Amino acid sequence: MRIAFHKELESLDQAIVQLGALVEKSTRMATTALIEGDVAMAERVQAGDDEIDALFLDIEKRALALLAQQAPVAGDLRLIVAILRVVNDLERAGDLAYNIAKLAKSQEFRDPQLKPVRALVSELGQAAGQLLSAALDAWATKDEKLAADIDIQDDRLDDLHARLIEELVELKGQDSLAIAIRLAMIGRYFERIGDHAVNISERIRYFITGDEELLG
């Protein structure tokens, strides 16, 4: 029974990596779709959200079943708790990538006056993708130092978001307010993806250390 339990737990651990890879890919594709005005790519991101949701539900269901049926303790219990938290962070990050892709289908962001803003948005998207990638690497290796460094890396994402808002305030033109609002939403979505990466890093540290404050 315990052999089957640990085999399932290991499978769930790997499923998190699989789900994370899908979300990271969606984030990078949504960024590219936005910057390049690639409507077809944006639609692929939206279509791919169903796979993310299905895998999320499968992982959550299986983790809850292990929790209810096997009464795990110590490290096994912490890993299941971490899986349940991380899977939610990944699903929400996937939803944010979906939202970015939805907004990316508008061609208004191709306006020449938005070139400096597009450059910042591109940096934001790349930084969010890198942060998510680092969090997934930390999960795969259960590396506490790598996980702890992610919070520091998130500062760059916050700085880029602040710079984007400053640029948007300076926009001029008939439709500038509406465009600025939508770009501010996109910037916030990228920042929140970074927040979910930070959350994942804290779940890893909880699993390793048992510090329940990291679940907050």
Cβ pair 207, 144 in contact under 8 A: no
> Who's near 41: CB < 8 A, 6+ residues apart?
29, 32, 33, 101, 104
Per-residue pLDDT of the chain (216 residues; tens, 9 = 90+): 678 888 999 999 999 999 999 999 999 999 999 999 999 999 999 999 999 999 999 999 999 999 988 788 888 999 999 999 999 999 999 999 999 999 998 877 777 778 888 899 999 999 999 999 999 999 999 999 999 999 899 999 999 999 999 988 888 766 788 888 999 999 999 999 999 999 999 999 999 999 888 887
Question: Euclidean distance between the first and final Cα of the chain, in Å?
Answer: 33
Considering only CA atoms, which of 34, 28, 17, 31 is closest in space to residue 179? 34
* H or E element at residue 103: helix 74-104
The residue to which tokens 């450059």 are assigned = 119
Q: Which structural domain, as residue segments, surrounds residue 93? A: 2-215
pTM for this predicted structure: 0.94
Structural domains counted in the chain: 1
Tokens of 40: 């077809």
Rounded distance, CA 42 to CA 12, Å? 29
* CB-based burial, 88-120: b 16+ in 10 Å, e otherwise: bbbbbbbbbbbbbbebbbeeebeeeebeebbeb
Phi, psi of 105, rounded to the nearest 5 degrees? -70, -15
CATH number of the structural domain spanning residue 189? 1.20.58.220
Helix (H, G, I), strand (E, B) or coil at 126: helix
